Amino acid sequence: MPTVIHQTNGESHAHPKSTVIDKLIKPSTLSEDSITSFTTRPLPNPPFDATGIDTAHLTDLLSLITSAVGTVISEYNAIGHRVPALSSTLPGPFDTPDQASPTFTKAIQVIEGACAQLCATVAGPGHTMINYEESACLQIVTSAKISDYLLDKPDGLHVSDLSLLSGLEADKLSRVLRRLATVHCYCEVKPNVFANNRLSMKLLSSDPVGSYVGHVTDECMKAGTYLADTLQDLEVGHSQSPDKAAFPRVLGCGVFDYYTKHKEHGDRFNKAMVGWGRVTGKTALVKAYPWSELPKDTLICDVGGGNGHRTLELVKASPQLMVVVQDLEATLWTKEYPEVVKEDRVAFVPLDFFNGVPVKDCDIYYLSHVLHDWPDAECIKILCNIRKAMKATSRILVHDYVLQHAVRTDMPGNQELAPEPLLPNYGAGKVRGYNLDLNMMAAFNGKERTLDDFINLGNRADLRFVRMCESGETGLVEFCLP
């Protein structure tokens, strides 16, 4: 018979295996009264707050949702349009922030924030804690151009046909599409037959928003997977240097060097920035600042303006303005607004904003999503170089996300707090800025900033804070010379 060896006081003892098992399964010698006493004994206090929250929290959230949905319906009724169905492939009248009124935009933020907070309150944590697969699926369908193959196919295509077109294995593709259809991106119209809908149409290769999705689910997501390793690395985890970020750790070089070496990704990035402008409101800048009050021939320097897509919209709306874009070549302007180039209302001047001074004596120096690429020390260098070019009446406009804390506190400037019981920053209603903050950390050791952060940067660059203007999802932070 097999034996079991155990050791006591340094001595080994062998027992037949059956003896040990017999002891383990020996019937209990407890009396019936003892068992009854044990089973009726009060349970210890649970390891959580058994009192929970007042149900008024839930009903208040429900009231916010009901009121905001009423606002959305009223906005559609005002233009004689029905709320678009998810299954529709046609663009809706309010699909971008540019098309929506501030009232509509605020209602959507309330709905997103309140619905997410309600779900987080009453549902288990699993559905929010485990969600990386969605990004992986978006990368698959974007790189395989699934939405392109489904274009003008209202009845959809079977996965076997999509497999032949895309080269992806049919069963695996069906599972990817079903995961996305479960969160309303694509429709499964019949078993294993999928069609485009409002959301999946944004993944077309011709849509700059699709390029942005490809950008963030490819190189950005790769950098994100190494963010934890980078932060926990004793040598680089506390560094603020762009060279010590997660992106170069996983991809072998910095972001801009990477796009120089991988032209197809660089081209996608440039197109993605146009898509990002559409998502966040490319013409919000036009409404955010009193441009029409500025005199004729007001000169704006678009510092680090890339292809100048932001100031392109501005000059279209305010013909008295002139622009100098200090970054890349004029390809976008030549294609979309050639008369401005012919009239010499726009010029392109190369600039290394760390080592060079921008064009002197401009009226406004505009930085759109530039400072968020860089840690504080580099931002101060950029601002100090701009200060050297400023005349007494010049202004700096920093166009970036202006984040808020997730707890109610005194806020500088005129930042609005969400209605209670929402988080003061609208929670999920404004989550994109916080997502981008982590993206900047992984890519550059950069960051999105609070208004206090911006004011501190200005002080360190010997600039005076003037005001902040809301610009869609983002903000315009204005500085002048002291």
* 25 pLDDT higher than 70: no
If pLDDT is split at 50, 70 and 90, which confidence band does 447 have?
very high
d(CA 70, CA 143): 38
Kindly report the pTM of this predicted structure.
Answer: 0.82
pLDDT, position 53? 66
Among 1-15, 75-89, 141-155, 457-471, the minimum mean pLDDT is found in 1-15
pLDDT, position 176? 98
Among 47-61, 135-149, 258-272, the minimum mean pLDDT is found in 47-61
Q: What structural domains and CATH numbers belong to the chain? A: 3-33 (no CATH), 57-128 (no CATH), 146-203 (1.10.10.10), 208-276 (no CATH), 281-480 (3.40.50.150)
Kindly report, residue by residue over 71-122, the tens digit of the pLDDT. 999 999 999 999 999 999 998 999 887 788 889 999 999 999 999 999 999 9
* 3 pLDDT higher than 80: no
Does 164 or 34 have the greater pLDDT score?
A: 164
E strands, 251-355, in order: 298-303, 321-326, 346-348
**Tokens coding 60:** 């208040």
Kindly report, residue by residue over 358-380, the tens digit of the pLDDT. 999 999 999 999 999 999 999 99
Orientation angle between helical segments 102-122 and 56-78, nearest 10 degrees:
150
Residue 184 falls in the annotated catalytic set = no
Does 7 or 452 have the greater pLDDT score?
A: 452
CB 313 within 8 A of CB 282: yes
Q: Which of 81, 372, 399, 405 is an active site residue? A: 372
pLDDT, position 410? 77
> How close are the terminal C-alpha atoms of the chain, in Å?
93
pLDDT, position 313? 82
